[in-house]
Amino acid sequence: MKKTPVLLTLTALVLAALPVHSDQAGAREQLAKEGIAFTQEAFLQKIAEGDAKHAALFVEAGIDPSVKNQGNRTALWVATERRQLDVLKALIAAGVAPNEKNAPPVESGKSIVFEAVDSGDAAFVRTLVEAGADGKMANEYGVPPLAEAARTGNREMCEILVKAGADPNAAPGGFPLLYGPVNENHLEIVQFLLASGAKLGEHKASLLEAAKTPEMRAVLEAAE
C-alpha cells in the first residue's frame, strides 16, 4: 500500500519524537579496531592521559562512568584531579552528570567542586557547577568551596560559586568566611563578598584586628 503524504508526514513526526539511542555496539567495535580493550581500567587510563575522544567513546559504548580506580576516584574525579579539562567537558557532554553517583565526596568529605577550586582554574569550577554539581557542599570540617576560593583570592571562582547559591555568610569552624580573604589581604574579594551580602556582625572586631592594611580596615569599618 502506497503511503499518502499525510501518512508520511505523521510517520516522520513519530520517528522524530522517538528517543535516539547510542550505538553501543558500533562504539565498542571502534574501540576494538583501535586496539583498546573495553574495560574499566582502560577507560580510566584514557581519562588520566587526557584522551577526551576515547573517554567519550567509552561512555557511548556503555561503560559505567561511576566505576572507581584504586584511589576510589570516579572518571569525573580523575579528570578533575589530573587537570584534564577537555576530558571533563567530554564526559559531561556525553551525559555523565556530576552527582553523588558519578562524583561522590572523597576523603574528609571533599567534594569534586572543592577539588576544582584547588585546581586554581575557574574553568573546572564553572564546568562542574553549570553541569549541576553542588557548589555549596562543605567538607566534614564545615569548610565550603567558597571559603577556599575566597582565601586564595580567586574572584572568578567566587563569582561562580555565589551565583550558584554559595553562602557568603558561612562560618566554617565558627570563623566567618570573610576571615580568609581578610587575613590573606585579598581586598577585592572582601569587597565582592560584602557586595554579595556578607555581614561582619559579631566578628567585626576580630576581622578588623586581622586586617593588614589601612585600605582593608577602611572597607571593614564601613561594613555592617
Q: What is the pLDDT of residues 62-111, one digit of tens each?
A: 999 999 999 999 999 999 999 999 999 999 999 999 999 999 999 999 99
Each residue's pLDDT tens digit, 4-45: 443 333 333 333 333 334 589 999 999 999 999 999 999 999
Q: Which residue has the higher pLDDT, 9 or 215?
A: 215
**Rounded CA separation 24/188 (Å):** 50
* Residue 19 CA: distances (Å) to CA of 10, 11, 150: 16, 15, 44
pLDDT at 173: 85
What grid cell was written down for 159? 563569582
- Give 129: exposed, middle or buried? Use CB within 10 Å, 0-12, 13-18, 19+: buried
pLDDT at 3: 42
CA–CA dist 200, 209 (Å, integer): 13
Please report the pLDDT score of residue 17 as a whole number.
38
Q: What angle separates helix 122-130 from helix 85-93, to the nearest 10 degrees?
A: 10
Q: What is the pLDDT of residue 8?
A: 34
Using the CB atoms, write b or e for 17-31: b if 16+ within 10 Å.
eeeeeeeeeebbeeb
Q: Can you give the pLDDT at residue 94?
A: 97
Amino acid at 203: H
pLDDT of 113 higher than 50? yes
pLDDT at 4: 42
Tell me how many helices (H) and strands (E) the chain has.
Answer: 14, 0
Residue 194, pLDDT > 90, answer yes
Distance CA 179, CA 47 (A): 37
Which pLDDT belongs to residue 116?
Answer: 98
Q: What is the rounded CA–CA span in Å between residue 75 and residue 201?
A: 42
Query: Which domains are present in the chain?
Result: 24-96 (1.25.40.20)
**Between these two residues, 6 and 178, which has the higher pLDDT value?**
178
- pLDDT tens-digit series, residues 120-168: 999 999 999 999 999 999 999 999 999 999 999 999 999 999 999 999 9
Q: What is the mean pLDDT of residues 173-197?
A: 96
Question: Mapping DSSP to helix (H, G, I), strand (E, B) and coil, where does residue 61 land?
Answer: coil
Is the confidence at residue 52, as pLDDT, over 90? yes
